[in-house]
Every structure is written in C-alpha cells, then in structure tokens.
Structure 1
Amino acid sequence: MRRENTKSNIDFKSIFDSLPDLYLLLDRDFNIVEVSDAYLQATMVSRKQILGKNVFDAFPDNPNDPKATGAKNLYASLLRVLKNKSADTMAIQKYDIQRPADRGGGFEERYWSPINTPVLGADQEVEYIIHRVEDVTEFVHLKKTGSAQLKLMEELRTKAGEMEIEIYQRAQEIQEANKQLEEANKNLARLDQIKTQFFANVSHELRTPLMLILGPLEMLLAEKKLPSFVQNTLRRIQNNAQILLKHVNDLLNISKLDAGKMILHYANIDLVKLIQQTIALFEAQIPQRKLVFSMDLPDELQAQIDPDKIQHVLINILSNAIKFTPQNAKVSIRLVQINPEACKLQIEDNGPGIPSDLCETIFERFFQIEEPTTRTVGGTGLGLSIAKDFVELHGGSILAGNARNGGAIFTIELPLKAPQNAKVYSSYSQLLLGEKEISASLAEFRNKVKPIKEGAEEDFEQDYYDRPLILVVEDNQEMNHFICKILNTFYRTESAFDGREGLQKSLALHPDLIVSDIMMPHMSGVEMVHAIREHPMLLKTPIIILTAKADDELTARMLEEGAQDYVIKPFSAKEFKARVANLILVKKAEDELDQFVYHASHDLKAPLPAMEHLISWIEEDLGEMLSEQSKKYLLLLRQRASRMSKLLDGLLKYAQSGYVFDKVRTIHTDRLITDIIKKLNPPQTVTFQLEDTLPVLNTCELPLREVFTALLDNSIRHHHRKDGHIIIGTKEKDRFYEFFVADDGPGIEKKYQDRIFQLFQTLQPRDKLETSGVGLSIAKKIVEFQGGKISVESEKNKGSVFRFLWPKDKEIGDAC
C-alpha cells in the first residue's frame, strides 16, 4: 500500500543534499548547517570537513592573492540579507578554493555568481540563509582569452543562468518597488485625511470669530449718525471680513468633498429663474461696473437639482468672467434642453481666454493661470475646482474652452432629474445662498474694482508739500488707502496700483521712500525693484517690501535686489511707521552729508590758490633775503598746500562720484583700459596683460573710466617690485560683467581689507605715496551706484585681486 507523504515523514535533509545546484545553508551567525553534494564536489571538500564551521573559516580568502575580496563581499551581502530580510544578488566574485593535498594543494582560481536568500521564521525574523552559487570560472576564462567558444558559452549562459538570475532580480526589484509604493500610498492617504480634517477644523474655528466680527459691523453700519469716514472704514472692515469668510467657506467645502460628506439637497426649481436671480445679484452688488449680460434662455426649464450648489457654480463662473474681462464686460449666457433628461448651459465672456493647454488644468485645486507675483486678481484657486465637484455630484460635466470670437467659454451639462430614491423638496427658497453668502462671494471682486473716495477728512497743513514723499505701490486699493492713511500724518503720499505704474511714478517723482507689495499685476514687486535699481538717480531711494508670505528665500532675494527692509502682513502700524521714519532719516542724513562735503570742499579750497600766489611772491621778491631755514619752511608750506588741494579734490570727487553723468555709448573696454594705462604713465618695469575676455558693451564711459583708473593707479602705486605684472580681465555673471584687476604686489593683510574702501584710508604714509586715500572709496561708490559690488582678495606678499560687478548692456543714448 502506498504511504502518504506528510510533513513529518519527508526527508528534507536528503532532498537538500541531492539538489543538483550548489547550495549552503547558513544560520544567523553564518555557520554551515547543511550543504548540497554538488557544492561539496565543486569545492573539493567533504561534508565532515565543513559542517558546523563558520563559512569564512571553511572557505578563507587566498592568502597569496593580496587583491582577494571574495570573503569581504560575501560578508557584506549576508549582512544586507539580515538587515533587509530580502534576497541579495552579488556580482561575479573571484573566490579561490583550496585544493586537497592529494590534488596538489594550494589554491585554485575560481569565479562564482552568488545569490543569498533569507529563510524567515514564525516571528518574521531571519533564521537561515540559503547561499546558492554558480561556478562561472570557465566562462570568465573564455571571456578573458577571447576564445572562439565564447560566443557559444555566452548564448548558453544567456539562455540559462543569466536569464534565471535576471528574472529573479527583476522579480525582487518589482516586489520591493510594489511594497514601497503600497507604503507610500498608505502614507499619502493618511496625510490627505489629516489635511482634510485640518481644513474642516480650521474652517469651523474661523467661522465663529468671523460671525462675531460681521454681526456687530452690520449693527454699527445701521447707525445713521456715524460720520461718513467712520462708515467708510467700517465698510472696508466688513468687505475684507467677507473675503475671509468666502475663503473659509471654500476650505469647508473642500474638506466635506474630500471626506465624502457633501450632501445634495434636491429641489424642484425653474433653472431659468435661478439664473436670472443670480445675474441680478451681480448687477446689485457691483453697480460701478458696466456689465452687459446677453441671455438666450427659454421661458422656463424645470429641473431637480441642488439650487445652492448650482448657484455657487454660477457665481463662481460669472465672477471669473467679469474679473478677467475689460471694464465694459460682456457676458453671454445660453441655456438649452438637449434631451428630455439633460440640459446644457454655456457662459461666454469677452476676456483674454484660457491657454488651450490649461483648459483642463484650471479645474485642479489651488491652480491659478497667472503667476503668483504678477496676477491681476486674487483668490485661492479653489473656486473652479469646487464648481467642478458640485457639477459632477449632480452627475453632470463641466468643460472650459475658448470662444470663436475670443474669450473663455464654459459648458455645463446637467441631468434634469434627481437619482431614484433621492429626496426632492417642493420648495427651494430656503435652500438658496443667503444675501450674506452672496456678498461674501463677491466681496473680493468689489475690493478690486471699487474706487475709494474718502473726501477731505482733514485739511492739509501749510507744510504739507515740504514733507518727504512716499510712493505706495499696492494693487489692493483698500490696503493702499490704509497704508497712505497711516503715513499721511507726517508724509506726503502717492499711490500706484501695480509694479509698472510704480516704476513710472518712481522715475517721474523721485520719492524719498517706496513702499511696495510683491504680488501685483503687470509687473511684480521683485521686477519693479530690479528695474528701479537700474536707474542711477533711484539707486539711493530706500524701499520697504510688504509681503503676506514668510518666505526667507524671497525676502533674501528682495534684499539682494536692493530693498532696504521688509514687513510681513498683517503688521503693526506703530512698527511700520517706525521703520519708515528710520529709513527716511537715514536718507536725509546721506543727502545732507553729500551736500556738506560738496560745499565744504569748495569753501575749504578757495583760500589755497591765494596761499600759492603769496608763497610764489615771497620767493620771487624776497628770496635773496630769506635764510635757508625760511626757504625750507616755504617749501614745506607749498607741499602742505598742494597736499591739502589734492585732499580736497579727492573729497569733492568723492561727493560727486555717485553722480557722474554721461550718455550710454558703445565702449571697447580693452581700448579704454589701454588709454587709462597710458595716462597713468606707469614705470616701464610694470607690465600689463589684457585678457581676450574683455567685452564690448553699451555703458557710460566716465564712471567706468573712474573705477578702472582708481584700481590701476592703486596697483601701480603700491607695487614695490621692479618687475611688476598686472592682469585685467572679466567674466560674465548673470546680468553683470565681473571685471578684475590682479597684481603681484605686496598684498593686503586680511585685517585691513575692509578698511581700504573707506574714505581717507591708506596702508602707508601719505608722504610716501602722495595719495589722498579716496581712490578706492570713489570706485566703491560708483560701482554701488551702478548696482554692482566691489571686493578684494589678497594675502600678504602674494598680490591682490580686485573684482567689481558692472551691469551689462544699457540702451544707447540713455543717461546714467
């Protein structure tokens, strides 16, 4: 009778021993537990010799091969198996085998292709490792020698071992990738759930304080005795609170949609009447816009829909249509019944339209067509996404496209019947959005288009036009008005409502300070600051940036572009006024200092020519009567007067250096530098090398000549060696050229490198160098006035390299 095979009577040891391939079974400490007969034969050992031994004791590296790494690589692979609990396929390894004495002894060169696979226990921990190898020595030898049999061997190997290993590896990789993907999906779902719950919690928590703001505001506005300017201020507060309420409502809708808790309340309605009521709301809420609605509607169209949700869709699409259209907006609305079960609604505008590649993307959450820093309208990017979700909850569809005559067109298809078993209300008036919700939906739009006219709240004081002028660049009209109101007590203010207008008014008015938002239409605050700093007359105008984002990278970029300070919204009016006052005072002090230096230089220099004439008269008329000591005193007096004159010349030059006016022209910098060197008349022992990289650029010659003159004169004067060498070159760096002047002179100690650009600073006595110590100060001032930077790299006795950034091509004929 045939005996049934069970787990208890199967001889797994015999099966393992008889496997045709080369296997070792190792425990967690890498001791050999079992070995196949094929493995024993391939390695020329007996079972008794290796069982119970550590695999590295049984099979050590060849001691005669200093490059042997087989044992090291195997150990690393086994550790990976223990750690990752997954198979580890090794590259082909050179692992020599020790021959028995009866076979000649020594080590025999062998190459192996190993795979190490874990055997997991009940606790999912590694209990054993199956070490499987394939002897590929012959294959490697053939490949090395280029034997004619190689092609055949490669084909056989491809069809057998390599294919098997490749399939195994790919299977393991796919398995691991699937595991990681599954884990990532779980994490993503968990994060999405947390985000949804967060939106819901925040939305609920914000609605309560918002209601406690809007309620009392409504009561205050009902008071007829309040002054008009107080009522206007309260309306601004109400309008902005309603904007916040709309964003909160959007977040709450998103959280409900994500959680699957958005419920439709169906009602029997006349869809035509719903559309007409919604359009009437627009005409009432924003009367200052000349809206033209063209409607092609049937007399009546009964439908079973959720009127609140569909009205939300209508308001969103209509407000988008009006936001993105010109002042005289034209909106066409067409409603048709396409079959007994469905209708089609089309809303078309005369705006700029939608880029064809974004017609689907605009329905994604948080997506906005315009760039964040230059957008012309506000919003969170949730409106169209919510509209799409509401339409699809009804079983309908919404598509965006471009109309034949330009502008955007939205097509909505809706079923006219509610699903079976759905509750349908007979009346819908209580389900429509209330007036407060409608007002909240349109508040942000009103905020953009509503002109602000306060009237004369206070008479101008007599000194008004003597006050510093501050330009406020902010596209939100109410915020612009608020900032101006804060500043009007002590300053004159001028408003601009986008970056382009801000630049134009900056050039026309030369304000004492500019306050600018970042995110604005037509030209962002970043672009405006960059453009302002390209005009020399505005280089010293302080700029304060307003931002609603605590973005360190953007803030750093703005400061690098030339802004002096930034304030994060919402901000304290007291702190804001203090920052403005500080910058205004600094600007005033700098202007007064420049004026003082300029006039002082003239006044101090005036007596010097007379002194020179008197010295000459004394020498000519009384020279024979003077003692030698008196003649020395006269010579010393002449030298001191000459030095004083040079010092005052330098001071005057420094005061004027920021205002070196010239016209932009094409300059060959190599020719300019050659001319400067010729006029400096350096010793013949000093050689100059002009690199081929020196550009031809459109710029102002006079300020660039001053900078090169100062740097070259400095290198020549401080050069002590007889065989001095000076190199002048450049490289491109973003929107600048980086010029450098490198010498092999005495160098500058690090502790002095910051001082050398300061006024009247010299590292050697002036008697020795005959210098006023203003050359490098002038160079620094000119470079910074052009929007660049200047620096020095130097070590004592190893020469110096001066570098400065100079803006690339300007427009020919422009002043600078």
Structure 2
Amino acid sequence: MRRENTKSNIDFKSIFDSLPDLYLLLDRDFNIVGVSDAYLQATMVSRKQILGKNVFDAFPDNPNDPKATGAKNLYASLLRVLKNKSADTMAIQKYDIQRPADRGGGFEERYWSPINTPVLGADQEVEYIIHRVEDVTEFVHLKKNGSVQLKLMEELRTKAGEMEIEIYQRAQEIQEANKQLEEVNKNLARLDQIKTQFFANVSHELRTPLMLILGPLEMLLAEKKLPSFVQNTLRRIQNNAQILLKHVNDLLNISKLDAGKMILHYANIELVKLIQQTIALFEAQIPERKLTFSMDLPHELQAQIDPDKIQHVLINILSNAIKFTPKNAKVWIRLEQINPEICKLQIADNGPGIPPDLCETIFERFFQVEEPTTRTVGGTGLGLSIAKDFVELHGGSILASNAQNGGAIFTIELPLKAPQNVKVYSSYSQPSLGEKEISTSLAEFRNKVNPIKEAAEEDYYNRPLILVVEDNQEMNHFICKILNTFYRTESAFDGREGLQKSLALHPDLIVSDIMMPHMSGVEMVHAIREHPLLLKTPIIILTAKADDELTARMLEEGAQDYVIKPFSAKEFKARVANLILVKKAEDELDQFVYHASHDLKAPLPAMEHLISWIEEDLGEMLSEQSKKYLLLLRQRASRMSKLLDGLLKYAQSGYVFDKVRTIHTDRLITDIIKKLNPPQTVTFQLEDTLPVLNTCELPLREVFTALLDNSIRHHHRKDGHIIIGTKEKDRFYEFFVADDGPGIEKKYQDRIFQLFQTLQPRDKLETSGVGLSIAKKIVEFQGGKISVESEKNKGSVFRFLWPKDKEIGDAC
C-alpha cells in the first residue's frame, strides 16, 4: 500500500543534510542549527564539531592573514538580511579553512561565492538564514595567474557549470556599490539631523523674545484706563506678534516630527463635540469673511485620539479653507463612521480649488500653490504638512481633491481605537488648544480681505522655468522643444536679451550659447553672477568647440555644466534634470530664509511704529508702569529684529560674490577697526607679516570683522590688547587674532562657532550670536578652516586658513 507523505512524516532534516550543494542553516543569533554533508566535506569539519556553535566561532578568520575580512563581510551581510528581510548576495570572499591535524594543520586558502537568504516566520520576522556558498578557489587562482590555456578553461567551465566569468567582477561591484550606498545614507542622515537641529535652535531662539513681547502686551491690554484707540493699537501689535508665533510654532513642530520626538497622548473623546467646539471657536472670524459653515455630523461618535493633535489638524485645514475662499463662501464638514474601526471626516469649500497635479504636492513642507512673489496670503507652507504628519501619527490618512462644482475637499480617515498597549486617558475635559490658537492661526489675514488667485487650468505654470539663450532660431526652437515636455521655456536670442530676461524672470535654469551678437555667453554669465538674486541659478553652456581652456574659464565664471554640439537629446535632458533637482534641494533652505526674513520680520516694523504712536499720542496719560512695558516691548522687538538679521546674513554668507583684487591686509584691518569704533583704551598691534595678496575683499572683510568684533565685545577690560598677524602654511595664509581677554573654557570652544551661541547672557551683552558662525561658514566656503585656542583668564587666539593669491579679475 502506497504511503502518503504528510508534513508530519517527511524527514526534512535528512533532506537538508543530503543536499548536494554547500548549505548552513543559521538562527537569528547566527548559531549553526543545520549543515549539509557537502558543506562539511568542503570545510573539512564534522557535524558534531560545529552544530550549535556560532558561525564565527566555528569558522574564524585566518589569524596569520592581517588582511582577512571574510568574517567582517559575512557579519555585515547577515545584518542586512535581518534588517531588509531579503536575500543578500556577497562578493567573492577570501575565507581560509582550518585543516585538521591529520591533514597537516594550519589554514588552507579558499575563496567562496556566498548568498544569504532569510526564512520568515508567521509574524513576517526573520527566524532563520540559509547560508549557501560555492567554492570558487580554482576560478580565482586561475584569474590571478592569468592563464589562458584551453584545457584549464574547459576544466573550469565543467566545474563552474553555468557560472559566468563576469560573476567575480559583478559581485565585487555589488559590494562596492553597497559600501557607497551606506556612506551616502549616513551623509543624508547626518544632513537631515543637522537641518532638524537647526530648525529646533531657530524656533527656540525666536520663541523666547516673542514671549517677552506678548507678555507685556497682555499686561498693557489688562489696564482698563487705556483709551479704546490705544487698546486697538496694542491689539494690532499683538496680532503681528501672533503671526510670528504661529510661524515659529510650525517650525518647532516640524523639528519635533523630524527628530521623532512628537508623542501622542490618547484619550477617550467624543469626536463630534470636539469638532463642534472647534467650529464654535471660529465664529469670531466668520463675520469678517462672511463664511457659512454647513455640518453633517452624527449625534455622537466616541474615539481614542490625541485631542490636541486632531484639533490642530482641524485648525490647519479650516484655516487653509478660510484663507483661500472668497467672501460669502461656504465650508462643509461631514463626519461618518465607515466601520467599527474607522471614521471618515471630509472638509470642503467652494474656493478656487487645487490644481489636480498638486493634490499630493500641497502636503510637502514649505510648498505653496501661489508663487512667493505674487501670493495673496502669507504663511510658511507648513500647515498642511503638519496636518498630514499628525494624522499619519494616528495611523490614518489624508487626501486632497477637487469637488465637481469647484473648491477643495480634504478627506481624513482616522482609526477610532488607540493601538494596543498604549495608555488611554479615561477622561479628558477638552483640548488645551483654544481661542488663542485659532486667533494665532488666522491672525495673518484678520481685518483684511485678500484677492483670490484663480487656480491654473493646467500644471504648465507650476513647472520649473528654463531660459534658453541661443542666437540661432532653429537651435533655440529645437532646445525648447526638447525641454517643453517637463519644463516651461522662455527664449532669448542674444546675450543682452538673455541678461534682461534673467533679471526679469529669475529662471530656475539658464541654457546659453557662447558665440552670440551684442553680448557673448561669457559676458552674459559674468554679468548674471554680479546680481545676488541670480548667484545660485544653474547655467549650462552650449559650445560648438571642444575648447578645454574656454570651458574651464566658463566654469570659473559661474557656469555649472557644459554641452558640446552636436549633443544627445537624452544626455542633455539628463544634465538639465540633474541641475534642476540640485537647485530644488537648495531651494528648501532658500524658502526658509525667505519666510524668516519676510514673514517673520514683517510684523516688527509695524510694532515699532505703533509703539511710537502710542508714546506720541498719549503723552503723560500712560502710567509709569505702562511706559516701562512699552520700553521693554521696544527692546524685545529690536532684539528680535537683530536675531532675524543675523539669521539672514548667516544663510547668505556662503554666497558673497566679489572679484579678486590686490588687498593690503594691514589697510583692510585698520579700516575695520576704525568702523568698529572700539574704546580708546583697547590697543591693536598689526604685525609686519601681514601680506599683500590677491583675493576677494568682501568675504575676508566679513571674517576679520566678526573676529575683531568678538574680541572687543567680550574683553571686559579697559586696557585690552589685540594682536593680528599671519604666517604662511602650504598654499594658505594662516591669519590669527589674539587677545588678552577672559578666555574661553575648553568645553565651550566648539560651541562658539554654532549659530546663536553666546557665552554671556544676551541681556548683559548685546549680540545675536551669529558672527563667529558667519566667519566659520565663509572660511570653509573658501576651502579653509577656523579654530580657537584659549584658556580661562589667559586670552584667546582665533586662527583661520585663507587661500593664497588668485588670478586678478577672477570670481570667488
């Protein structure tokens, strides 16, 4: 009678042991739990010797080979399998095998081609790893010896089977590519961490003076004796400060989200009541915009959510709807329970809607549908991004679309239950957000009605703009045709017209010929780089001549790439796309600088003027306490303005554009000292070693100004002495600024070059904490380094490397 094979009577162990190829079975801790007979034979060990041992104890590296990396590479591959839950093919490895004593002992040179494959359990986690190898020692020896004898090649083909000659090179390339990819990922993670920390630092530095502005304002507004027009003026100041606060809060939320520090506090909430409370808080804003809310809500709906975060989502989406809808517009809110686990919330308006191709893009950070130069409402472009992050933290989703009759629809799907093993508070009166949060969110368009820009019918005007400067009309038309699929294009037919259109349009990229009438491409690039707003605009040069000297000159003048005619359209588009992507990455910081210098700073002049009006109009009506509050308010506004000026200067400091000229450094330093106007008791000594060099004056002036200003401000002595000198060091000059001030403790010496870092309280020493940061950024941009040597109460010596002579007339 034929016995049926079942899972219970199949001897899988015997099958595995008898496999004809070389296999090890490892557990999650890399212990050997199975081995094929073929593997035992190839490695000259017995099953009893290695079974149960860790693979690296059973097969250590050859201790006599200092270059052995087999164990290290195998460990890295096994870790990748655990992390990625996918097979990992290794390059050919040199992994020597220890011979038994009866075979002479010692290690025998071996080369292997390994692949490690995961075995997933029911929970989709890695339970085992199958380690399969092929012995390719003869193949490697043959390759090393360079033998081409036909007989040996035939023997190799027979033993290797279907293994191709390229396997060695390809496997090596895979390993090298993995190393490069790991390095790139490390760098990206480091840059992302720096950006997140930068946002957090900026937010913290701006919130402190903001609270010192809003605090005195509340005290002033609490004085009932103030005339109504004064209270109205103070409220306008408060409104501008709230605009600043919202932008700063958004930046702080982003930094917490990026750092993974945003924590949800779940509570049992009646979701319908939360929505109704939020809408009620908006009532104060509705009369100004003449908006109408229409709600379709169930009688009640219980949910386990973080009420603060969900109300923040509601505020951001409703604020967005109110911003972009005209007067007499409507906003619809609909809530329904899809199933016992999920609810769906929809918020719709009858505003201009969203361009269809931007329905996903609007959730990206800093993105705004309107162009920054023509936008009708303010903001940092972070509200919808934060809303999306908060919803996804709950395990939900948010989508944007357009209604059939126009207007935008935001659809949120949200789990009604908190994840398992998460603490849920049983009672929660109401979210901590309230009228102040709503007021802050809507402050930027209170008491004014902005015209609404109609949405574009297509995405053409949202594409990057490329200016094509080419005097040959056929070639110009051809280039535009190549690019029109993905970009907007504008044509210019000589260098002069190209310069004019560059200044007028601020394109995302410029493509230019060299030989053109009126103004050549060389002259145009030079003229473009003299305008700060075009300093970072990428330029591709088209040339019909393979002229290395001219190409090098163009790259030195400020072009990023060049293409020789005739060129491949595919290659040309790839070069364009690469530069556009690089510029897009740089624009994230540019957008932040724009908002920091525009949106964050815009309310400050208004506050300054309004304070002056109060002082002039009221005269002696104000109490002494009120006058003190006004003075404090003015000081804090001034402090905020200086912080923002420093931030902007820091962001732009790496892009100081200047021409190389002959600079007498002693004269330059003397002029800087004169403009700093130090106390007469502070003396300066300029050493005779200060050189005359060919360099750019503006960046060098910025560095010396920052260092000298730092030494003067922090000296604290009436008879201070500062020495400035230099010495040659390879291809650099090493300048130094030494003082006999209080010195800097070693633990603070790295911090002083960080943004907003000061060692003295800012109320005691008026400084923004950006001077040394700017100096460091400029020096590093020039290819040098900056450092400090100091001991407490023994003065400080700042040193920086500056490149030696450049060619007169060159750009830098």
Task: State TM-score, norm by structure 1.
Answer: 0.38
Q: Larger deviation: 525-534 or 772-781? A: 772-781
C-alpha distance 799-542 of structure 1, shift in aligned 2 (>3 A): farther
Question: C-alpha separation between the residues in 2 aligned to 1:768 and 1:202?
Answer: 21
| CA offsets 1:364-389 (integer angstroms, 9 cap, x no match) | 22222222222222221211111111
| CA offsets 1:777-801 (integer angstroms, 9 cap, x no match) | 9999999999999999999999999
Question: C-alpha separation between the residues in 2 aligned to 1:218 and 1:164?
Answer: 79
The match for 2:106 is 106
Pairwise CA distance, 1:254:
1.7
Q: Larger deviation: 620-629 or 289-298? A: 620-629
Q: Larger deviation: 329-338 or 41-50? A: 41-50
| CA offsets 1:161-208 (integer angstroms, 9 cap, x no match) | 999664433333332222111011111112222222232233233222
Query: Contact (CA 8 Å) 2:601, 2:641: kept in 1 or not?
Result: yes
Question: C-alpha separation between the residues in 2 aligned to 1:166 and 1:665?
Answer: 56
Q: Larger deviation: 410-419 or 86-95? A: 86-95
Q: Larger deviation: 288-297 or 508-517? A: 508-517
Query: Contact (CA 8 Å) 1:667, 1:696: kept in 2 or not?
Result: yes
Matches within 5 A, 1:299-310: 299-310=299-310
Pairwise CA distance, 1:136:
23
Pairwise CA distance, 1:334:
0.5
C-alpha distance 573-201 of structure 1, shift in aligned 2 (>3 A): farther
Pairwise CA distance, 1:424:
2.7
Pairwise CA distance, 1:272:
1.3
C-alpha distance 476-674 of structure 1, shift in aligned 2 (>3 A): same
C-alpha distance 518-385 of structure 1, shift in aligned 2 (>3 A): farther
Query: Contact (CA 8 Å) 2:727, 2:734: kept in 1 or not?
Result: yes
- From 531, 535, 541, the counterpart of 1:539: 535
Structure of greater relative contact order (alpha carbons < 8 Å, 6+ residues apart): 2
| CA offsets 1:225-283 (integer angstroms, 9 cap, x no match) | 44555444422321121111111111221222222222222222221121112112222
C-alpha distance 42-203 of structure 1, shift in aligned 2 (>3 A): closer
Question: C-alpha separation between the residues in 1 aligned to 2:554 and 2:787?
Answer: 21
C-alpha distance 560-304 of structure 1, shift in aligned 2 (>3 A): same
C-alpha distance 545-275 of structure 1, shift in aligned 2 (>3 A): farther
C-alpha distance 87-777 of structure 1, shift in aligned 2 (>3 A): closer
| CA offsets 1:29-61 (integer angstroms, 9 cap, x no match) | 999999999999999999999999999999999
C-alpha distance 295-309 of structure 1, shift in aligned 2 (>3 A): same
| CA offsets 1:722-746 (integer angstroms, 9 cap, x no match) | 9999999999999999999999999
SS of equivalent residue, structure 1 residue 443: helix
Question: C-alpha separation between the residues in 2 aligned to 1:253 and 1:645?
Answer: 23
Question: C-alpha separation between the residues in 1 aligned to 2:385 and 2:636?
Answer: 81
C-alpha distance 505-806 of structure 1, shift in aligned 2 (>3 A): farther
C-alpha distance 720-572 of structure 1, shift in aligned 2 (>3 A): farther
SS of equivalent residue, structure 1 residue 515: strand
Q: Larger deviation: 40-49 or 255-264? A: 40-49
Query: Contact (CA 8 Å) 2:112, 2:137: kept in 1 or not?
Result: yes
Question: C-alpha separation between the residues in 2 aligned to 1:337 and 1:641?
Answer: 49
Question: C-alpha separation between the residues in 1 aligned to 2:444 and 2:7?
Answer: 76
C-alpha distance 190-227 of structure 1, shift in aligned 2 (>3 A): same
Question: C-alpha separation between the residues in 1 aligned to 2:600 and 2:225?
Answer: 66
Pairwise CA distance, 1:392:
1.6
Query: Contact (CA 8 Å) 1:87, 1:172: kept in 2 or not?
Result: no
SS of equivalent residue, structure 1 residue 604: coil
| CA offsets 1:490-519 (integer angstroms, 9 cap, x no match) | 999999999999999999999999999999
Query: Contact (CA 8 Å) 1:374, 1:520: kept in 2 or not?
Result: no
| CA offsets 1:760-781 (integer angstroms, 9 cap, x no match) | 9999999999999999999999
C-alpha distance 785-102 of structure 1, shift in aligned 2 (>3 A): closer
C-alpha distance 45-188 of structure 1, shift in aligned 2 (>3 A): closer
C-alpha distance 90-381 of structure 1, shift in aligned 2 (>3 A): closer
Question: C-alpha separation between the residues in 1 aligned to 2:217 and 2:282?
Answer: 23
| CA offsets 1:3-54 (integer angstroms, 9 cap, x no match) | 9999999999999999999999999999999999999999999999999999
Query: Contact (CA 8 Å) 1:748, 1:795: kept in 2 or not?
Result: yes
Query: Contact (CA 8 Å) 1:243, 1:441: kept in 2 or not?
Result: yes
Question: C-alpha separation between the residues in 2 aligned to 1:293 and 1:409?
Answer: 14
Which consecutive unaligned segments of at least 5 residues does structure 1 have?
none
Question: C-alpha separation between the residues in 1 aligned to 2:351 and 2:602?
Answer: 68
| CA offsets 1:415-441 (integer angstroms, 9 cap, x no match) | 222233433334433533033222212
Question: C-alpha separation between the residues in 2 aligned to 1:653 and 1:634?
Answer: 29
Query: Contact (CA 8 Å) 1:376, 1:522: kept in 2 or not?
Result: no
Structure number with larger C-alpha Rg: 1
C-alpha distance 561-432 of structure 1, shift in aligned 2 (>3 A): farther
C-alpha distance 748-547 of structure 1, shift in aligned 2 (>3 A): farther
Pairwise CA distance, 1:336:
0.9
C-alpha distance 694-536 of structure 1, shift in aligned 2 (>3 A): farther
Number of residues of Structure 1 aligned to a counterpart in Structure 2: 812
SS of equivalent residue, structure 1 residue 162: coil
C-alpha distance 274-637 of structure 1, shift in aligned 2 (>3 A): closer
Pairwise CA distance, 1:578:
49
C-alpha distance 738-558 of structure 1, shift in aligned 2 (>3 A): farther
C-alpha distance 686-216 of structure 1, shift in aligned 2 (>3 A): closer
* Identical pairs, percent: 97
Question: C-alpha separation between the residues in 2 aligned to 1:42 and 1:666?
Answer: 73
Query: Contact (CA 8 Å) 2:349, 2:407: kept in 1 or not?
Result: yes
SS of equivalent residue, structure 1 residue 225: coil
C-alpha distance 6-241 of structure 1, shift in aligned 2 (>3 A): same
Query: Contact (CA 8 Å) 1:447, 1:478: kept in 2 or not?
Result: no
Which consecutive unaligned segments of at least 5 residues does structure 2 have?
none
C-alpha distance 734-499 of structure 1, shift in aligned 2 (>3 A): farther
Pairwise CA distance, 1:312:
0.5
The match for 1:180 is 180
Question: C-alpha separation between the residues in 2 aligned to 1:390 and 1:444?
Answer: 23
Pairwise CA distance, 1:311:
0.6
C-alpha distance 583-230 of structure 1, shift in aligned 2 (>3 A): farther
Pairwise CA distance, 1:100:
45
Q: Larger deviation: 666-675 or 365-374? A: 666-675
C-alpha distance 624-437 of structure 1, shift in aligned 2 (>3 A): closer
Q: Larger deviation: 743-752 or 549-558? A: 743-752
Pairwise CA distance, 1:690:
64
C-alpha distance 547-456 of structure 1, shift in aligned 2 (>3 A): farther
Question: C-alpha separation between the residues in 2 aligned to 1:559 and 1:405?
Answer: 52
Please provide the CA RMSD for this pair: 26.5
Pairwise CA distance, 1:220:
1.8
C-alpha distance 773-164 of structure 1, shift in aligned 2 (>3 A): closer
C-alpha distance 406-784 of structure 1, shift in aligned 2 (>3 A): farther
C-alpha distance 443-169 of structure 1, shift in aligned 2 (>3 A): same
C-alpha distance 535-729 of structure 1, shift in aligned 2 (>3 A): farther
Q: Larger deviation: 560-569 or 434-443? A: 560-569
